[in-house]
A and B are shown apart, each in its own frame.
Chain A
Amino acid sequence: MTANCREKLLEKYSAKVYKNRKEHVLQLDTDKSNTIAANTRAIPGVMTARGCCYAGCKGVVIGPLKDVCVITHGPIGCGFYSWGTRRNKAKPDENTDKNFIPYCFSTDMQESDIVFGGEKKLEKAIEEAVELFSPKCIMICSTCPIGLIGDDVQAVAKRTEAKYGIAAIGYSCEGYKGVSQSGGHHIANNGLMRYVIGIGDKQPKTKFSVNVLGEYNIGGDGWEEERILKRCGIEVKNLFTGDASFEGLKSAHLVHLNLVMCHRSINYIAEMMKTKYGIDWLKVNFVGIEATCKSLRDIAAYFNDSELKARVEEVIKDELATIREDIEHYKKKLNGKTAGIFSGGSRSHHYQDLLKNLGVKTVIAGYEFAHRDDYEGRDIIPNIKEDADNKNIENITVTKDEKLYREIKHGDVAELNAYAGMIPEMCKDDIVVDDYNHFETDELIKSVKPDIFLSGIKDKYSIQKAGVASRQIHSYDYSGPYSGFRGAVNFARDVAMAIYTNSWALVTPPWKHKPMLTGQIKEAK
């Protein structure tokens, strides 16, 4: 990696854009503290990869609740575009026999609804949904026009609860709120905390029960994690919110420990549950072999139970033995390769662990919507300046619940209720980009030429056109799971497959670099 990579990238910007972007693009200097600007407004016109508040609320956090009838209140597009586009998998379980994941519900507002208001239409749509699908819970997600025309989705939700005796929650997650999806995550977290978590009384069956927060079960990741935890004797009550249910979340406060996968999207709930119910949270990472082992050991250490500790070691030993041969095989193929990762708010950190296990060095890492603490660690939170956009997203405060608060005795874990961020794990001269855009992605690919770039569908084809292998790290190109032990093998196989494809070797036709005919002139006898 050349040391002036960052300068070369930024000099292509106009003065105004340069001034903004230089704060968001780092080339790491390990001697200094690496401070980055994050969670600020995207620059118009540069093709940011970010989505909107609605996408964060409905698309990411609320959408995967399988037994909830999530109605998009607005014109048809938003509902359609968030229909089955994240590969969050779900199946009916002991909590519920409902599964609305294959459905898209929308009020499909027309011009007259914008002019005269859409509340009536929403209420009728709810009536139809109740009649047709009899859900136990309805959640309403607002799109851009809703806040502007003054529809009160919270009031509609209240009336729905009274009229049908079911739970109903309205989310004001209009697309323009905040600066990215992140605002939507926060709004969704608030709603779950306020109205869902804490109203159930289904006790865990064991003394080692956990929620996995921020696990969206893309490609079945959560199921692989559940499999491993179960083998160790750890009871998984909820995956938040992949394959999750309203019924399950109601009793989420009764577990003994919260595990946090995606810190960015769900740290709000982790923190609030700590304050309100006394449940500690532990940042874990089940992407990567060593990371998975460490996470399991941390959990065992937290519960401080010798039997559990022994069981965890036994499981780790057995799982490692099972995958050793495969991993060695792929490691031989991948050792010494380089990678770039652009993802939402946590995978760029998580996948570095897994790539490292395979001998791949991550040289570029970036996030769409992360905050400074995701890069630099939670210690800097007091230093983060609030701006007008952040203030527009409600920050709720909770207090100790006198009835349900529990002091849970725990063992010695280094990083309890804490997260050190991505940057400390990276090396000198590595590139870190916040709110990456299409232009920067293209330029970095050109100048750094990593062997593989992990990113999303929006970047996938330009990466490939530039002759670099790509894997979709949001949806896994229909593959997965990538987490845990078995997932590591899947990932290794997929990355090796991408890097070793023949496609690009054939880009230049033979006549471009050698004559079409070869032969010798023989003298006639």
Chain B
Amino acid sequence: MLNLNVNPCKMCMPMGAINALLGVKSCMPILHGSQGCATYIRRHISTHYNEPIDIASSSLTEEGTVFGGEANLLKGLRNMIDLYGPEIIGVCTTCLAETIGEDVSAIVKKFYEQNPDLNVKIINIAAPGYGGTQNEGWFSAIRSILEQIEPNKTHNDKINIITPLISPADTRWLKDFLTEMGIAFTILPDISENLDGATETKYSRLKTEGTSIAEISAMAGAKLTLEFSEEKNSPAEYLKEKFGVPFIKLPLPVGVRGVDRLIEVLTEIGGAVSDRIKKARGRYIDAMVDSHKYNAQVKAAIFGEPDFVHAMVRLCGENGIFPSVVATGSATAGLRKVLESEIDMCKKFHFESDAQILDDSDFLNIEKACSELGVNLLIGSSDGRRISRKLDIPLIRCAFPIHDYIGGQRTRILGFEGSLSILDQAANAMLEKTESTFRTVLHSKFFKPKAEDKTESHPCFGEGACKNARVHLPVAPECNIQCNYCLRNFDCMNESRPGVASKILSPEEAFERYVKLKDTIPNLTVVGVAGPGDALANFDKVRDTLRLIREFDPAVTFCIATNGLLLPLYASELKELGISHVTVTINAVDPVIGAKIYKHVNYLGKRYTGIEGASILLANQLSGIRMLSSAGIVCKVNCVTLKGINEHHICDVSKAVAELGVFMVNIMPHLPVKGSAFEGLERMSNKEIMILREQCGANIKQMTHCRQCRSDAVGTLGEDVSIELREVEKQAVLQAEKPMLFAVATRTGAVVDTHFGQANEFYIYEGDESNVRFVETRNVKKYCNGPQCDDKGDRWESVIHAVSDCDAVLALRIGPAPERLLKENGIEAIATYERVETAVVEAAKKRRSSYGIT
């Protein structure tokens, strides 16, 4: 966004200036402005370093904005000195002081005049909150300190060290390293002790370590300045300009190149490389080799202050981590150029082309870039934690500020050890992810059907390993085309092939069958309509059937099989019905070949034959499939291979339907049927089919586990249990002598939902195990009025009388007393909460077995 900063990736100038002042010995900062600035900044610095932070405020109020803040600042300075006794005071301005145009140097001058006996050095630092980020504030403070402390130009043997904000632990490392190399130095500021202090028996309120005034003065006489920054407002350049101290600018000593460069410079000025340093370098290279495989998986987003991101990009680059997103909150146009050359180098050996450099950026932009470029690791401050959580990307916290973890003062990036800690964290982030996910990934990829994926769990559309069962409900007897290979025969029980069913069911019967089956086959998840005619030629029945089932079982998967002639007519309605899978039989995409296969096509009340018929069919099939695909319905195309008719045309069919977005093609061998036109056609061998499938597999996924099921098949693909089922049904019907009567306590007739005692009326049903018929309702006097019902037998007599001719009473609950009474009258009491039809069927079954009929 141009005007709205959403989740800032930067802080303000006073923050940086205060950070710097805290690295000066016996220094206390005061913010000239309203007291919120001091409070907020104390809070943030304290949380990061886990140290007490004292920042005074001149506590300007509305009066100060009108008459100026001089009085407040003078008072504040005096009180700080009285209470804390600092040697240096850093006065930082704020938005407020700068906006009202405070002349701080004049106020300081006045303070000196008023307090001539005080020996305190007061430094004033211009730090308007709108003047830049904490990075600019940091350098502005260093520069002001150098400008305002009396210089000691006597030449000395030390070198000056200027860094951007680094952690106390890194500062300690840098100091130790220089000492180890035999270099005398002054580092300004030195936050190593003040912001990572020890707990001692006595606590000193004033920061007693850090760069002293004497050391700062002597910086003017040093032999060299090393500045680890690209910052424009350069203290090194100031020292050169003013006192002729030469300088070398170099990147932070991060990564091999960074540390080597520092060693190189230090050696040139007389430093010596110890064995310990050589070994540390060797170990670092060894570790790089160890972790390079894992680091090569990293696409990192690096964000923070300019010098930090520059150093990190170099570290990442040389270790095979691709810096996909590099962002800083500062507006630093110069940095882009430096980063670009480094990133270009990475692009070459990463075969990556996309990387984004964002300057003057906020976290909204960083988040967007992370999503776009598939970033898998974040490197920066703890402000990246929101992206980390949202996008589930690990975050290495190694820059200021760190507010959600402890130990901000101890983070390391400098030197071989610091660099290595980043490399190890990056590699371990990758390993952690792999370790915690690879079993799941492998398992779901190769073994486990996804529960939410209806295609995976569909026995026909999913892989062969699917254990789910399906039922084909034979509700569609009519067909609107005549294929030469087909003869539909409803009564043949011993054939198992498409187009065959032993009995046509009404929608209600089909529903009953499903409910019953669901009870015995719990893994029944798919309902299909596959004829025996064409599902769409009998669409009213299909619609009614599926609606009934959907109401009962919202999770069920629906599929239908069709020749596709009426697809354009019903495609949108199929979607509404919740049909997720459709199989279309297409045997030819050339009307000339089609004409040989289809004897006639009945379309919109007229019969077409030959090429004309085949053309109509084909056009409707193809446009219908296109409509299904765009509606998100998964399509499978069945293709019957007819030797001498379309065997060489199959690949054309596959190719054509693949382009329409069909999911899978099922190339089936022709099963010759006695009495059909193609009864004499030679059967394709399994081998021939295999070869065809392999050829067409180049274009589209092939189904290899088709069992060419019956239209009333039940069970898993391997085991059709429909025949056994029919046997049971038949016997039951034969042995039922008279219809049984059931009294049901229900309010609506849909569900058994009423307490026996609270029923005003009973619905009377006549039925057996497969048929349920509503007879009448019978009013009774309600006799139970609530939970404190007293069981008085005489009140039930009328009720018992009303249902005396019934075999059983079905109710939500029945008390023990009426249950006993019913039993005495030969009526069974059944407590249930079910659909009425289901409950009656169950009750009939139960009754039957108690009558001794099996």
Indicate whether A and B interact.
yes
Residues of A participating in the B interface, judged by any CB pair closer than 8 Å: 12-14, 17, 41-55, 71, 74-85, 102-111, 113-114, 121-122, 124-129, 132, 143-145, 147-149, 174-180, 388-389, 392, 438-439, 442, 456-462, 464-467, 503, 507-508
Per the bound structure, the CA–CA distance linking A461 and B10 in Å amounts to 25
B668 is an interface residue with CB less than 8 A from chain A: no
Per the bound structure, the CA–CA distance linking A254 and B403 in Å amounts to 40
A111 cross-chain contacts in B, Cβ below 8 A: 128, 130-131
Contact with A along B41-79 (1 / 0, CB 8 A): 111101100111111111111111100000011011111
B55 contacts A47, CB within 8 Å? yes
A106 contacts B100, CB within 8 Å? no
Of chain A, the residue at the smallest CB distance from B49 is A461
B2 cross-chain contacts in A, Cβ below 8 A: 124, 128
B14 is an interface residue with CB less than 8 A from chain A: yes
In the complex with contacts A45-B79, A75-B130, A103-B7, A82-B40 CB distance below 8 A: yes
Of chain B, the residue at the smallest CB distance from A440 is B83
B5 contacts A107, CB within 8 Å? yes
A83 cross-chain contacts in B, Cβ below 8 A: 7-8
B154 is an interface residue with CB less than 8 A from chain A: no
Per the bound structure, the CA–CA distance linking A304 and B131 in Å amounts to 61
Q: A75's contact among B34, B44, B95, B205, by CB below 8 Å, is which?
A: B95
Per the bound structure, the CA–CA distance linking A194 and B481 in Å amounts to 75
Residues of B participating in the A interface, judged by any CB pair closer than 8 Å: 1-8, 10-12, 14-15, 30, 33-44, 46-47, 50-65, 72-73, 75-80, 82-84, 94-96, 99-100, 128-131, 133, 197, 199-201, 203, 205, 329, 362, 386, 403
Q: Can you show 24 pairs from A to B with CB atoms below 8 A apart?
A: A14-B78, A14-B79, A17-B82, A43-B79, A44-B59, A45-B56, A46-B56, A74-B130, A76-B130, A78-B40, A105-B4, A107-B4, A108-B8, A109-B130, A111-B130, A128-B4, A132-B4, A144-B94, A144-B95, A175-B36, A176-B64, A178-B62, A392-B62, A458-B39
A128 contacts B3, CB within 8 Å? yes
In the complex with contacts A76-B5, A83-B8, A132-B6, A458-B57 CB distance below 8 A: no
A175 contacts B46, CB within 8 Å? no
A52 contacts B39, CB within 8 Å? yes
B95 contacts A46, CB within 8 Å? no
B47 cross-chain contacts in A, Cβ below 8 A: 457
A389 cross-chain contacts in B, Cβ below 8 A: 61-63
Per the bound structure, the CA–CA distance linking A461 and B45 in Å amounts to 12
Nearest-neighbour CB distance to chain A for B367, whole angstroms, equals: 11
Per the bound structure, the CA–CA distance linking A443 and B167 in Å amounts to 30
Per the bound structure, the CA–CA distance linking A426 and B79 in Å amounts to 31
A466 contacts B12, CB within 8 Å? no
A51 contacts B6, CB within 8 Å? no
Nearest-neighbour CB distance to chain A for B719, whole angstroms, equals: 48
In the complex with contacts A128-B2, A132-B6, A175-B33, A44-B96 CB distance below 8 A: no
In the complex with contacts A55-B36, A508-B201, A43-B75 CB distance below 8 A: yes
Of chain A, the residue at the smallest CB distance from B33 is A144
In the complex with contacts A71-B4, A507-B200, A43-B62 CB distance below 8 A: no
Nearest-neighbour CB distance to chain B for A257, whole angstroms, equals: 34
A52 contacts B35, CB within 8 Å? yes
A85 contacts B43, CB within 8 Å? yes
A461 contacts B51, CB within 8 Å? yes
B200 cross-chain contacts in A, Cβ below 8 A: 507
Q: Which 10 A-B pairs have the closest CB atoms?
A: A52-B36, A77-B12, A45-B76, A44-B76, A45-B79, A81-B40, A175-B34, A462-B52, A75-B129, A125-B4
Q: A102's contact among B61, B63, B386, by CB below 8 Å, is which?
A: B386
B203 contacts A44, CB within 8 Å? no
B11 cross-chain contacts in A, Cβ below 8 A: 76-77, 80-81
Nearest-neighbour CB distance to chain B for A438, whole angstroms, equals: 6
B1 cross-chain contacts in A, Cβ below 8 A: 125, 128, 132
Scoring B4, B38, B65, B99 by chain A CB atoms within 10 A of each residue's CB, the highest score goes to: B4
B64 cross-chain contacts in A, Cβ below 8 A: 176
Nearest-neighbour CB distance to chain B for A408, whole angstroms, equals: 35
B8 contacts A79, CB within 8 Å? yes
A458 contacts B10, CB within 8 Å? no
A46 contacts B83, CB within 8 Å? yes
Per the bound structure, the CA–CA distance linking A47 and B130 in Å amounts to 24
A81 contacts B10, CB within 8 Å? no
B37 cross-chain contacts in A, Cβ below 8 A: 52, 77, 175
B130 contacts A113, CB within 8 Å? yes
Of chain A, the residue at the smallest CB distance from B329 is A76
B96 cross-chain contacts in A, Cβ below 8 A: 144-145, 148, 175-176
Per the bound structure, the CA–CA distance linking A510 and B47 in Å amounts to 31
B39 contacts A176, CB within 8 Å? no
Nearest-neighbour CB distance to chain A for B362, whole angstroms, equals: 8
Per the bound structure, the CA–CA distance linking A392 and B65 in Å amounts to 13
Scoring B51, B52, B55 by chain A CB atoms within 10 A of each residue's CB, the highest score goes to: B52
A76 contacts B129, CB within 8 Å? yes
A129 contacts B36, CB within 8 Å? no
In the complex with contacts A108-B8, A144-B34, A458-B53 CB distance below 8 A: yes
B39 contacts A55, CB within 8 Å? yes
A503 cross-chain contacts in B, Cβ below 8 A: 199
B6 cross-chain contacts in A, Cβ below 8 A: 103-105, 132
